[in-house]
Amino acid sequence: MGKAGKWFGPLSGILFVAAVVVAGGISGELDIEPSDSASSVLAEFREKADDIQTAALVTMLGLGFLLIFLGHLRTKFRDGGSGWAADGFLAGGVTLASAWILLLGVQLAGGVAGENGHAEVAQGAIDFMWEGTFIFTPGLLAVGIAAAAASFINRTLPLWLGAFAVVVALGALAPWLGVFVFVAWVLATSVIELIRAFRPATQVEVGQRSPGNSEVGVS
């Protein structure tokens, strides 16, 4: 692997997190609920329509970085002997990204409906945004279980990141919370991987390869 390839994979995870944070800052929260009146829902979507579109573009860029990061970890898991976990992790990550794109589409539809006065479409959008978070459940489960297995069985990641991945999987029970946990896990894993990329191999592997020694430090 080229020198750039060693650090760009981990860096892409950090760029994904940065995009999510920026997009959240742009769009903010919609101050409406499904029980609100149609006029209130339309007004809120109309007011936030431009912000929703800008945030969606930033998020899509971030999801591109996420896919690069997922590919980096899939290769790492496979090289570490976790073949099935590598494939399950990538499949879960793509499923998670697809769910995110679907949610973005719903938000964009709500924004367009607000601008054009389509009350039923706007109401359907806010209903789905509140009730449709289950679409993140399969991806969170697959990513969490696969990453935990790669960590605990093959020591491909530090054990504490494996435990963190278990929390990601449990986040599938409350998908909105689980998405935030997943983003935090990506950030933590990216930082550790970036540190590893800039450290000599003999230092990185100490604590992983020594008999009878489990994880130490960041390795």
The answer on pLDDT for 212 being more than 80 is no
Question: pLDDT tens for residues 129-155?
Answer: 888 889 999 999 999 999 999 999 989
What contacts 26, CB < 8 A, 6 or more positions away? 51, 54, 55, 58
Give the pLDDT band of residue 3 (cuts 50, 70, 90). low
Per-residue confidence (pLDDT) for residue 213, from 0 to 100: 42
Q: What pLDDT is stored for residue 166 in this prediction?
A: 96
Q: pLDDT value at position 209? A: 43
Q: Which residue has the tokens 């996420």?
A: 66
Which of 91 and 114 is assigned the larger pLDDT?
Answer: 91
- Report the mean per-residue pLDDT for the chain: 86
Looking at the predicted structure, is the pLDDT value of residue 1 above 90? Answer: no
Mean pLDDT confidence for 200-210: 45
Per-residue burial over 71-105, b = 16 or more CB atoms within 10 Å of its CB, e = otherwise: ebbbebbbebebeebbebbbbbbbbbbebbeebbe
The DSSP letter of residue 130 is: H
Amino acid 219: pLDDT:
42
Checking if the pLDDT of 171 tops 60, the result is yes
Q: 144-147: long-range contacts (C-beta < 8 A, 24 or more apart)?
A: 144/92, 144/168, 144/169, 144/170, 144/171, 144/172, 144/182, 145/88, 145/92, 145/169, 146/77, 146/82, 146/85, 146/86, 146/88, 146/89, 146/92, 147/73, 147/85, 147/89, 147/185, 147/189
* pLDDT for the residue 28: 80
Of residues 155 and 206, the one with the higher pLDDT is: 155
- CB atoms under 10 Å from CB of 60, counted, come to 15
Q: What pLDDT is attached to residue 144?
A: 96
